Structure 1
Amino acid sequence: MQVTELSAEGLKRQFKIVVPAGDLSAKVDERLAELAQTATLPGFRPGKVPVGLLKKQYGQALYGEALEQAVNSSTAKAIEDRGLKPALQPRVDLKQLEEGKDVEFEVAIEVLPEIGKVDFSGVELERLKASVPDKDVDEAIERIAKANRDQKPVDPARPAQKGDSIKLDFVGSVDGKEFPGGAATDYSLELGSGSFIPGFEDQLTGAEVGKVIDVKVTFPADYGAAELAGKDAIFKCTIKELHEFVDKPADDELAKKNNFENLEAMRKAVSDRIGQDYSQISRSMIKRNLLDKLADLHKFPVPEGLIEGEFNAIWARIEEAKKNGQKLEGDEENMRKEYREIAERRVRLGLLLADVGRSNSIDVTPEELNQAVMREAMRYPGQERQVLEFYGKNAELKDQLRAPIFEEKTVDFILELAKVSEKSVTPEELLKAAREAEEDQHADGAPSTAP
């Protein structure tokens, strides 16, 4: 095998490789000898078929097999001998392919950049910390009590009013034609809940049991179903029952109904959950700030092929959103430029985090991967077993859960080395800061990384 380096510009490498015809012939002869030991053809005993006859019948296929093996193995050896780390699969271009002659082909690859040792001790970050005030717990308990209210029929009879629960049948139509998903039977609706499109519930206020009412509404311009967006519709509603809610006091009985020992235990659980929510928001913010700083501090070159792949994935989601009727701001040329910058940022951060993780022996344990599978299964109540079986049979799909775990562990590692100060804030200040960060952020800063 002869390897000639044709070019080396930035992260791109190109080689010409020549595989002698004799090497391929030897491989073909070797495979023919193996085949001759077991081959069967009419008129010959097993293992007694002449090699020349086998070559005539199978030679072309065996040559193709030998060629593929030679290209793959010689390409891998050329890369290994030079200590290169390909970012993507090498591109092979066959230049000379004729049986009996040397095979010539060119290999083009992009290699991963050398990132080098990274010092995180100079990275300064601020972690916002919010305590859980009693009023937040009180409001959450009130919501639980509201969700557990009893209902009783309105007696004596009266027209429906805001806060009542009505049971109704309805059939919706646009331009006199019914549409999919526009009808329901025995549907329970709390008036004033805002569950339906604007104007629907208001027109049911004052309705009486047994009455049929035509509710006229206009679907919002940004309605999820594009075929209904902005359209006028009429819903023929039949009022079947009218109930009013009976408030539940926040007491031990309410707590026990929700599987807590008493009200105090429920309040603690609620406080802990809210605290976890605040911690998660704070974590997301400091992670985003960290990634912003890392992106600004590290400007190493990024393989164009990886950028293109990431951009294509982003743009495919945009095209899908457009098909679903979502209107996007800005012209396509500027959007493509912006999202290509986002793609480059994501790839650069992904390479950086992957390199930091590998350099510091950060790995995902089988236990962590199994816990991720369990969390995924819990997202589908009643189908947990099927989800677990599905992941058990699909190792590649299960392995996709590895990347986000690896990323979080690497971020934790970096945060331990960075200079992190804490600032106490109110929940309102925390949420405001999170909203402002979201508005200012052009990229989501969530690179796809893997060990």
Structure 2
Amino acid sequence: MQVSIENLGKLGRKLTVRIPAEQYETQVKSRLAEVGRSVRLKGFRPGKIPAKVIEQRFGTQVRGEAISELIRNSFAEAVGKENLRPAMAPEIDTTGQPSDGQIEYTAKFDVLPEIGAVDVSQLAINRPVATVADADVDAMVETLRQQRREWSPIERAAQVGDMVLFEYSAQGSDASGAFRHPAEGVDRVGTILGSGAMASALEDALNAHAAGAQISTDLTFPADFRVAELAARQAHVEAKIIRVQESRLPEVDEAFIGAFGINEGGVEKFRTDVRANLERELKGMLSARLKTEVVRKLVDAHPGLDLPQSMVDREAQGLLQQAQEQAREQGQVAPGVEAFADMARRRVAAGVLVGELARQNDIRLDNRRVAETLASFASTYEEPERVVELYQRDPQLMGGLQNRVMEDQVADWIAEHAKVSEQTLSFSEAMRPA
């Protein structure tokens, strides 16, 4: 095998690889012979199919498979021999046909940058710490009661905490022209007064009115209002209250805790389980916060890092697709890919630096930690064993989990070798997205 290298910029590389055609032909003949022994064709006895028939039926497929395998194996050998570390899969160009006794192809790809020793000893890291208090358990029990409250129609006027079902229309005129929502008729929605689910000014207008009341008011809808065409616009609103309901919270009794699968141990066992769930969630959030802090400081410490543009472009496209899906769900328009350039660059820089730290310090994937992480994640589902089985059978899912665990391991390693100070948070503060 002959290999020549051409530099295409700082990180771009072009390999030209030439392989003896005899090696290719030998592989093709071997594959065709194997097909001839194993394939079943109508009108022929097994193992007695003429070579010409095998060539006619399977030659194109076999040659394609042979050239693909030859390129894959020779490329891996070539980059190993030349001490290259491709950032992504190469772009291959070849005719796939022998010429002058050789098979030739070119491979274009970016390589990972040569970073040198990554020193984390001077990074100032804030490690968040928090615990679950009795008050946090009380708050979660109350949340669970709120989730299972029952609603009953009432005749009195609505007040904060009541659910109000109403019909409304909004119209106005601004620099964009006249508008009306909906275009015809009315929109029927429900809201819990004081929840902020609707515009607060609209909830205030509904307050202190009973079913059947007609309401007229002028207001400005918030910029994040769920109806995009009304967001941040002033309008005149006509509304009619259809129904007012008040809630009744369940008692924390045997029936209530039985709904969570607890049939023995009573309230004490229920609170113990609630605390265990909160502690599991807190552990995950503290780990995520630490990783966010570590990665941010690590990336900030390497502002001039050269990165493979192909990786940055792929990351930006992935972020764009996520934004487009979210925008479609919300009836909005996503920004262009350029809006994600900085975030994509930081994500790629984080991945490159984390990978380099793992390589330089021989940080290997802890399979026990992978299993523990998977078990913890699966325990949040009704059938944990099925979730575990799903991951074990899906290489893509398991690969994502392994990458996440490796990132956690590197973050922990950095925290052990950097300048770390503890930041004490309450449970609610720790659970708030960083």
Please, what TM-score do these two structures have when normalized by structure 1? 0.68
- Structure 1 vs Structure 2 CA RMSD: 5.0
Query: What is aligned with 1:15?
Result: 15
The one-character-per-residue Cα deviations of 1:300-349 (angstroms, maximum 9, x if unpaired) are 43222211111222233344455445578xx96xx82x632332222122
1:237 aligns to 2:241 (yes or no): yes
| Residues in 1 aligned to 2:340 and 2:209: alpha-carbon distance in whole angstroms | 51
* Structure 2 unaligned regions, length at least 5: 170-181, 258-265
Query: What is aligned with 1:449?
Result: none
Q: Secondary structure at the match of 1:400?
A: helix
The one-character-per-residue Cα deviations of 1:221-266 (angstroms, maximum 9, x if unpaired) are 422343664576655433466x5889x9xxxx99x9886549xx97
The one-character-per-residue Cα deviations of 1:268-312 (angstroms, maximum 9, x if unpaired) are x98x969x96x9888766654533432243344322221111122
1:104 aligns to 2:104 (yes or no): yes
Query: What is aligned with 1:48?
Result: 48
Question: Is the radius of gyration larger for structure 1 or structure 2?
Answer: 1
Alignment of 1:423-438 (within 5 A): none
More divergent stretch after superposition (69-78 vs 112-121) = 112-121
Alpha-carbon shift at residue 92 of structure 1 (Å): 0.9
1:417 aligns to 2:417 (yes or no): yes
Alpha-carbon shift at residue 37 of structure 1 (Å): 3.8
Letter in 2 for 1:67: I
Letter in 2 for 1:339: F
1:290 aligns to 2:324 (yes or no): no
Letter in 1 for 2:33: A
Alpha-carbon shift at residue 106 of structure 1 (Å): 1.0
Find 1:226's aligned residue among 224, 228, 231.
Answer: 228
Query: What is aligned with 2:120?
Result: 120
Alpha-carbon shift at residue 33 of structure 1 (Å): 3.2
1:354 aligns to 2:358 (yes or no): no
Find 2:316's aligned residue among 290, 308, 311.
Answer: 311
Alpha-carbon spacing, 1:403–1:203, altered in 2? closer, same or farther (3 Å):
same
Alignment of 1:297-446 (within 5 A): 297-298=301-302, 299-323=304-328, 324-326=330-332, 336=338, 339-377=340-378, 387-388=387-388, 390-422=390-422
Answer yes or no: is the 8 Å Cα contact 1:96–1:102 preserved in 2.
Answer: no
Letter in 1 for 2:84: L
Alignment of 1:99-248 (within 5 A): 102-127=102-127, 140=139, 159-160=156-157, 162-163=159-160, 165=162, 170-171=166-167, 174-179=182-187, 182-183=188-189, 191-208=193-210, 211-215=211-215, 220-226=222-228, 229=231, 234-239=238-243
Alpha-carbon spacing, 1:32–1:160, altered in 2? closer, same or farther (3 Å):
closer
Please, what TM-score do these two structures have when normalized by structure 2? 0.70
Q: Secondary structure at the match of 1:75?
A: helix
Q: Secondary structure at the match of 1:420?
A: strand
| Residues in 1 aligned to 2:145 and 2:73: alpha-carbon distance in whole angstroms | 68
Alpha-carbon shift at residue 418 of structure 1 (Å): 1.2
Alpha-carbon spacing, 1:196–1:215, altered in 2? closer, same or farther (3 Å):
farther
Alpha-carbon spacing, 1:47–1:100, altered in 2? closer, same or farther (3 Å):
farther
Percent of aligned positions that are identical: 26
Alpha-carbon spacing, 1:379–1:228, altered in 2? closer, same or farther (3 Å):
farther
Query: What is aligned with 1:71?
Result: 71
* Structure 1 unaligned regions, length at least 5: 439-451
| Residues in 2 aligned to 1:129 and 1:42: alpha-carbon distance in whole angstroms | 71
Q: Secondary structure at the match of 1:177?
A: coil
Alpha-carbon spacing, 1:214–1:122, altered in 2? closer, same or farther (3 Å):
same
Letter in 2 for 1:309: R
Alpha-carbon shift at residue 415 of structure 1 (Å): 1.0
More divergent stretch after superposition (51-60 vs 61-70) = 51-60
The one-character-per-residue Cα deviations of 1:387-420 (angstroms, maximum 9, x if unpaired) are 4554354342133122222212211111111122
